[in-house]
Amino acid sequence: MAILNNRLDVSTLVDGLDHAEGVAWGLDGFAYAGGEAGQVYRVDVERGELSQFAQVTGGFILGMALDADNNVYACDTGSHSVVRITQGGVVSTYSTGAADEPFHFPNYPAFDSQGNLYVAASGDWDARNGKVFKIAPGGAGVVWNDELVDFPNGLCLGPDGKFLYVVMSLNSPRVVRMSILGSGDSGDVETVVELPGTVPDGVAFDTDGNLYISCYRPDRIYRLSPTGNLDVLAEDYEGTLIAAPTNIVFCGPELGTLISANLGRWHLTRYNVKSKGMSLHYPKIG
């Protein structure tokens, strides 16, 4: 049974996905999600309707981000690359990482205002070989941070765009942040919150500065206030309505609906949190 703070509503938004991990919001008014056999889905959030519009061969589609033209940039485990998918369903390779160091298990992407794409490459499970890459507009990449070895996962820019927040899923599970220096390099790593006994996965901010953190284990979503107060926003002891929630995103015309993908099931879950999501960056990529 799902339990939410303040008795807020939780419900199934749409069913029929193939174990979605990634979920993202586009400027065209649709949400997007992926499947474990390379499917790419478009979701009408208002109507609760789902359609598949593209197929990426070779692997699981993980985290996603969109640009100003509603191209989808998705982490593909089959090719160990970030692929770009047009609205017409055309798939191409956008980046394979750095010239001297390719991605190893690219897991989640996020754009900044300049069109740089930060990508968490998680590495092997419990092997401490993760990295965060920075991909310039056009696809050329560098290793941006090689300290975050403990399965870096979901990431997002902070409210002022000066920090990158990254989920560390293993070995002292936590959320960290690094300042984005004037040079474009990574600043020092700071721990934002420790999450013992969990496997955190996704992150998203609202306009009040609250940080939402979804956990693959247990079936739980946290909300961390700007003052550091950590609450359980939602939890499902049965693992049915909320089932291994991975990536999360605010959707809808006013970004007033929080959505999670459920890796353990076939649906997206909607949370009525009565908060407005922080707008993401949707750069124009040539």
CA distances from 190 to 175, 184, 211, 272 (A): 9, 17, 15, 31
Give the residue-averaged pLDDT of 218-228: 97
Would you give the end-to-end CA distance of the chain in angstroms? 47
What's the pLDDT tens digit per position in 118-164?
999 999 999 999 999 999 999 999 999 999 999 999 999 999 999 99
Give the residue-averaged pLDDT of 80-103: 97
Residue bearing the bigger pLDDT, 59 or 1: 59
Cα 44 to Cα 137: distance, rounded to the nearest angstrom: 29
pLDDT of residue 82: 98
pLDDT of residue 8: 63
Q: What are phi and psi of 103, to 5 degrees?
A: -55, 145
Quote the distance between the C-alpha of residue 218 and its chain's center. Answer: 18
- Hey, where are the domains in the chain? 2-271
pLDDT of residue 2: 54
3-class secondary-structure state, position 7: helix
pLDDT of residue 6: 47
What's the pLDDT tens digit per position in 226-278?
999 999 999 999 999 999 999 999 999 899 999 999 999 999 999 999 899 99
| Average pLDDT of every residue of the chain | 96
pLDDT of residue 3: 56
What's the pLDDT tens digit per position in 39-83?
999 999 999 999 999 999 879 999 999 999 999 999 999 999 999
Whole-number percent of the chain with pLDDT over 70: 97
Give the residue-averaged pLDDT of 216-228: 97
- Count other Cβ atoms within 10 Å, centred on residue 191: 11
Scanning the structure block, which residue is given the tokens 């049974």?
Answer: 1
Q: Does domain 2-271 have CATH number 3.90.420.10?
A: no
Residues 6+ away with beta carbon under 8 Å from 104? 80, 121, 122, 123, 124, 129, 131
Query: Residue 166: is its pLDDT beyond 90?
Result: yes
Give the residue-averaged pLDDT of 190-204: 98
